[in-house]
A and B are shown apart, each in its own frame.
Chain A
């Protein structure tokens, strides 16, 4: 039954792939239209956050010893912030995706999954653009001699990590979009939760490893192994932690299946409940 729902949904989505591409492209286009910097914002978002956190943790207060980061902090933060920005902006778009497209939801039929998927798609475009700056940053630190960024075959893992992250985002995004359609305050709750989430996902501060209760709880966060895996592959040149990464992959699969099945089941009510 569940497998069937997904198979059916996937088939329908395939038929509407051009629409998905069009909507993704629309989201990208609209985000940077009538703005001065245009697509530059895709880079500026994680870059400015990186500068803020670098200032806070190395200039305002010197927390480098507490944070226990064994590389230039700016590099550490930016490598975490690029996938994190993708995650938070993508989901932030999903939360609103159905409600913001109310006139399409109530006036035209096509698989509703297209809305959250298009949001994730357009954030993925931003992700790729922001990643190019990471390459520049790595080169800078490499040639200034503060950190050796030798490319290692482990970088081949990056697409797999990205797939796991996208799968998790699709599942969560569908759940959020659907929840916000029925209860509009999901958006407010989400904006609070996502801020807290950043600090327990090894994005700008490493997660505690001291075996305390807090550390154990944080270890359940499937985003930690994902963000760490990016750093492992790109900066340290090593294969990600297998146990952690498998846990994240399994969680992503669960989110994807549960999210999609729930979404499909509820989607026939969208037009009248929106």
Chain B
């Protein structure tokens, strides 16, 4: 216990729901009401954290993940000392710098250079250090020529890069980073990750809050999963990801069922009611393992009978080309459907794609007349976990073999078979919104 840099001891934090008194007038009004013996209605509380326990050892890099509203930011603010816990204790040993919002404290009217000094001071960096590292900061942020331009004229990317760059050069004992690497281009994100690795190598304790499991796993060997104000898991990052997905599935199940069909899910002939993903045991899911079988269930209403209905489901990773296009017509199947509600199921024995977030769309044709009846956007998300088997696009079963050419003696050890780096499971926060 002596080496822990950060410790949460059964920490609870609550916030008051609704507005508290914001003006003297309200205060007077409620004061009078109390004088007259009227019952004062207390606003209810919302517990953002309920008895959260965890510790981070010195020099360790730990990720904190969890669905929206799990309490991640509250944890960081408690660590930073911005908030005080209602119950429990927060212990922090060492100089701490928190990057909770990039460029918090930047002033638009000041130039980049002036803001570096100001923000450095805000983050607790001595002036002499800032002067010494000025070139490094500017170079890292890549704002060279704009150093003496007021930051209000910066693009949002430059603004964010400068903000991160300053924080990355503070050299604290403990660095807190909250979901800031979503800014900047891929190149800059890579450099941020490198920089965080470097800091950790030099003994900085890192607490990293993110929705980007890719980045989290790249930096943190250990992670803590929060769900609805409680710690649900603390341990290896790879396992944490599974727990995170379970928490997400529950968040999904909790949401009101059957969102009313959007306009693009409807045409003069077809109304798409629901698209669900179901696992082998018949449970509704938002994520699947690439090795497991699953079903896609389409529920729709035909307003007119269609004699030869062809259905096509397409899968994409992001704005790329289709990875997969499953067309009933090409399988030689057309559906003869009367007007009314229908349920059609597509069974997939395995989905051999790498971990990440994918989207489906649904198309329908009348093969008799050749008219397109429905063509939705790619808006039905599905998360895939490949159990850490690879990066790239496809994830296929494979085996490695080999040996000394002359003797035929095996030169590989089977123990390392599963020691591949944990993969990247790209899940953006947006997935929940899209659901």
Interface residues of A (CB under 8 A from B): 16, 18-19, 21-23, 26, 29-30, 33-34, 101, 103-110, 182-186, 189, 268-269, 271-273
Determine the distance from Cα of A29 to Cα of B126 in the docked complex, in whole angstroms: 20
Given known contacts A26-B110, A30-B109, A110 and B124 CB-to-CB distance under 8 angstroms: yes
Q: Are B98 and A108 in contact (CB under 8 A)?
A: yes
B123 touching A183, Cβ below 8 Å? no
Q: Which residue in A183, A184, A268 is a CB contact (below 8 Å) of B84?
A: A268
Can you list 22 contacts pairing A with B, beta carbon distance less than 8 Å? A16-B124, A18-B127, A19-B124, A22-B122, A26-B110, A26-B114, A29-B114, A30-B107, A33-B110, A103-B101, A104-B104, A104-B105, A106-B82, A107-B104, A107-B105, A108-B105, A109-B81, A109-B82, A184-B22, A184-B23, A185-B23, A272-B83
Give every chain B residue within 8 A of A29 (Cβ-Cβ): 109-110, 114
B1-37 interface code vs A (CB 8 A; 1 in, 0 out): 0000000000000010000111111010000000000
B98 contacts across to A, CB distance below 8 A: 107-109
CB distance from B123 to the nearest CB of A (A): 7
Which of chain A's residues has its CB closest to B117's CB?
A22
Interface of B is mostly: loop
How many whole Å from A65's CB to the nearest CB in chain B? Answer: 43
Beyond the given pairs A22-B121, A30-B110, A103-B105, 4 more chain A to chain B contacts, judged by CB atoms under 8 angstroms and listed by A's residue number, are: A23-B121, A108-B82, A183-B27, A189-B24
Instruction: Answer yes or no: B298 CB below 8 A from chain A CBs.
Output: no
- Known A-B contacts A18-B127, A104-B105; the reply to A109 vs B22 at CB < 8 A is no
| Complex contacts, A106 vs chain B, CB 8 Å | 77, 82
> In the assembled complex, how far is the CB of residue A270 from the closest CB belonging to chain B, in whole angstroms?
9
Which of A34, A110, A184, A271 meets B77, CB within 8 Å?
A271
B119-141 Cβ-contact flags toward A at 8 Å (1 or 0)? 00111101100000000000000
Report the minimal beta-carbon distance from A111 to chain B, rounded to whole angstroms.
Answer: 10
- Give the distance in Å from the alpha carbon of A61 to the alpha carbon of B320 in the complex: 81
Query: By the criterion CB–CB under 8 Å, are A19 and B107 in contact?
Result: no
B residues lining the A interface (CB < 8 Å): 15, 20-25, 27, 77, 80-84, 98, 100-101, 104-105, 107, 109-110, 114, 117-118, 121-124, 126-127
Q: Among the listed B24, B104, B107, which residue makes an inter-chain contact with A108, where contact means beta carbons less than 8 Å apart?
A: B104
The one of A34, A103, A185 that contacts B109, using a Cβ cutoff of 8 Å: A34
Check A19/B77 contact, CB under 8 A, given A108-B105, A185-B25.
Answer: no
State whether A103 touches B104 (Cβ < 8 A): yes
Asked if B107 and A271 sit within 8 Å, CB to CB, the answer is: no
Q: Which residue of A lies closest to B115 (CB)?
A: A26
**In whole Å, how far is B18's beta carbon from the nearest beta carbon of chain A?**
13
A182 touches B21 (CB 8 A): yes
Question: Can you list the 8 inter-chain pairs with the closest CB atoms, starting with the nearest?
Answer: A107-B104, A22-B121, A109-B81, A268-B84, A19-B121, A271-B82, A107-B101, A185-B23
Asked if A186 and B24 sit within 8 Å, CB to CB, the answer is: yes
CB B17 to nearest CB in A, in angstroms, measures 12
Main secondary structure on chain A at its contact with chain B?
Answer: helix
Most buried by B among A19, A101, A268, A269: A19
B22:A23 contact, CB within 8 angstroms: no
A103 to B101 alpha-carbon distance, docked (Å): 9
Chain A residue at minimum C-beta to C-beta distance from B114? A29
- Roughly how many angstroms separate A103 CA and B117 CA in the complex, as a whole number? 18
CB distance from A166 to the nearest CB of B (A): 22
- Expressed in whole angstroms, the Cα–Cα distance for A107 and B82 within the complex equals 7
Find the residue from A18, A109, A182, A185 having the highest chain B CB count within 10 A.
Answer: A109
B contact residues around A182 at 8 Å (CB): 21
Give the CA-CA distance A189 to B27 in the complex, in Å.
Answer: 15
- Chain B nearest CB from A103 CB (Å) reads 5
Distance (whole angstroms) from the CB of B167 to the closest CB of chain A? 10
A269–B13 Cα distance when bound, in Å, is 12
Q: Are B21 and A183 in contact (CB under 8 A)?
A: yes
Distance A57 CA – B221 CA, assembled complex (angstroms): 77
Asked if B100 and A107 make an inter-chain contact with CB atoms under 8 angstroms apart, the answer reads: yes
Closest partner residue, chain B, to A189 (CB atom): B24
In the complex, which residues of chain B have a beta carbon less than 8 angstroms from the beta carbon of A18?
121, 126-127
Complex CA distance for A26 and B77, rounded to whole angstroms: 25
Residues of A near B21 (CB, < 8 A) are: 182-183
- Of A107, A189, A272, most B-chain CB atoms within 10 Å: A107
Cβ of B170 to closest chain A Cβ, rounded Å: 12
B24 contacts across to A, CB distance below 8 A: 183, 185-186, 189
Residue of A nearest to B15 (CB): A272
What's the minimum C-beta distance from A119 to chain B, rounded to whole angstroms?
A: 14
Please, which residue of chain B has its CB at the minimum distance from the CB of A25?
B118
What are the residues of chain B within 8 A of A23 when measuring CB–CB? Answer: 118, 121
User: A101–B20 Cα gap in the complex (Å)?
Assistant: 20
Max count, chain A CB within 10 A of own CB: residue among B15, B82, B100, B101: B82
Q: Using Cβ atoms and an 8 Å threshold, which residues of chain A touch B15?
A: 272
Contacts of A101 in B (CB 8 A): 105
A108 and B122 in contact (CB under 8 A), knowing A29-B110, A183-B23, A186-B24?
Answer: yes
**B122 engages A19 (CB within 8 Å):** yes
**Contact B110 A104, beta carbon cutoff 8 Å:** no
**How many angstroms from the CA of A269 to the CA of B22 in the assembled complex?**
14
A106 to B77, CA, bound (A): 8
In the assembled complex, how far is the CB of residue B163 from the closest CB belonging to chain A, in whole angstroms?
11
Nearest-CB residue, chain A, relative to B25: A185
Q: Give min CB distance, A209 to chain B, whole Å.
A: 35
Judging by beta carbons under 8 Å apart, are B80 and A109 in contact?
A: yes
Instruction: Determine the residue in chain B with the shortest Cβ distance to A106.
Output: B82
Question: Within 8 Å CB of B82, what residues of A?
Answer: 105-109, 271
